[in-house]
Every structure is written in structure tokens, then in C-alpha cells.
Amino acid sequence: MNLPLLFRDELNGFYRSKVMLVLWIGLPALSMILYVAEPKTGIPAAVFTSLLVGSIGGTIASAMLAISIISERERHVYDLFVIRPVRRRDILLSKFFAVYLCVVMAGILALGLGLLADYEFTGLAKGISYQNLESAMILLLSSLAISCSAGILIGVYSPSVLVGVILVLYGGNQASAVAILPALIYESYYWFPLVPGVAVSALLLVGAILIFNARQL
């Protein structure tokens, strides 16, 4: 079982990357700037920032995963892993969990920043119930999970980086909406986005693993 080792390794690579710097610092900051620039939405800053990070961050994470997997596949980086006692699925899962953890951290940072802004400046803090917060968090977790797993599938499937980027922009990004739709339809069941979030992510990951296992590297 090499998943923990590979996960620590991938985390080590991803959290130091420039993209993560953008996700962790740039994106929460950008979402706050956008919120301040357009404050008439009536949405608490916490919810606004987490939605934005869930959307833009999901796209960035998806693109990062897809590009990383395609380029590593093209350069035969995985050859030296799979000739060892390593399950191919562990290579993909370690990437998924590493990037997912990083973008969720970015989302929590943005949410925290938004909460701080709500308490200090906007006066909307009173409007935020525990359930609102939980709902925003669930939405964030679900949409990011779908984006990341879509990135993995696109990375495994795409023949080139260009095709991968196009698929991420037109497919991966839209897939995360699957998590948002139930939240709009079943408002009273704030936990409901978890269902499509987990189901779609699992489905995409299983598809990616099957393709990766079948591929002659």
C-alpha cells in the first residue's frame, strides 16, 4: 500500500507550486476585492468568497491536474513508478487527494476571510447561520471534488495538453455545476449536494482508473 507515501509526495509537490500560491493567497484576495467592488448582492462575504473559490479554484485545480498528468504521461514519468510494486490507481488517487486537500484549504481560507469581513465590515454576520456556513462548505467540498476528479479523468484520457485544457474549460468546469443544482432545487436539504458530489467524483475517478489501468504506458 503505497498511497500514503505517494500522497505525501504529491502534496509536497503541489503545495509548493506557483499555482497553489495563486489559490491560497491570490484567489481569496481576489474574491474579497470582487466582493468589495460589488457589495450590493446581499450575499454574505463568506458565502460569496467560497462560491467563487469553488468555481474558479475548481477550474484551476482541474486544469492543473489534467496538464500535470498529460505532461507526465507524455514524458513517461510513470514508467519508473509502475515497474515497482505500485498500483496504478494509487498514482491517480494520490494526485486527486493532494490537489483536493490544497484547494479545500484555499476554500477554507477564503471562507474564513469572508467571515472576518462579515463580522468586521459588512454587518451581514448576523445573517449567517451555522446552517448557511455548513451549506456553503458542503457546496464547496462537492464542487471541488467533482472538478478535481474531472481533471484526473481528462488528464488520463486526453491525447495532448491542448485537448486537455479545452476539455477542462468546456467539460470539467461545467461538471461541478452538478453539485450546485441540487442545492438550488432542494434548498431545505443543505447536505444534498454531497450526494452528487460523492457519486459523480467516484464515477469519474473509477473511469480514470480503468482507462489508466488499460493503457500501455
Partner 1 sequence: MQEVRSQSNHSLSARVAQPSNLLDGGFISFQSVTKRFWNIVALDSISFELRRGEIFAYIGPNGAGKSTTIKILVGLITDYEGLVTVGGRSIRGSSGDLHKLLGYLPQKAAFQDWRTVDQALMTFGKLSGLSSSNLRIRIPEVLRLLGIAETRDRKIAQLSGGTIQKVGMAQAILHNPPLLVLDEPVAGLDPASRYEFKELFRSLRNEGTTIFFSSHILSDVQDVADRIGILNHGQVLHVGTFDELRRKLTVPKDIEVLLAKESGQVLPEEVLALLTGIDVVGPGRLIVHVRPEEDLDATINALIDGFRRGGSQLRGIRPIEPNLEELYMRFVGGVG
Residues that bind partner 1 (CB under 8 A): 2, 5-6, 9, 12-13, 16-17, 72, 75-77, 79-86, 216-217
Q: How far is the CB of 51 from partner 1 (least distance, A)?
A: 30
10 contacts 102 by C-beta, under 8 angstroms: no
Nearer to partner 1, 36 or 210 (CB): 210
For 59, half-sphere exposure in the C-beta direction (CA atoms, 13 angstrom radius) is: 15
101 contacts 20 by C-beta, under 8 angstroms: no
State how far the Cα of 115 lies from the Cα of 121, in Å rounded to an integer: 10
Nearer to partner 1, 18 or 40 (CB): 18
How far is the CA of 70 from the CAs of 20, 85, 172, in angstroms? 19, 22, 15
Torsion, Cα of 133, 138, 143, 144 (10° steps): 90
Q: How far is the CB of 54 from partner 1 (least distance, A)?
A: 26
Q: How far is the CB of 81 from partner 1 (least distance, A)?
A: 7
Nearer to partner 1, 19 or 178 (CB): 19
Nearer to partner 1, 5 or 25 (CB): 5
Q: How far is the CB of 214 from partner 1 (least distance, A)?
A: 9
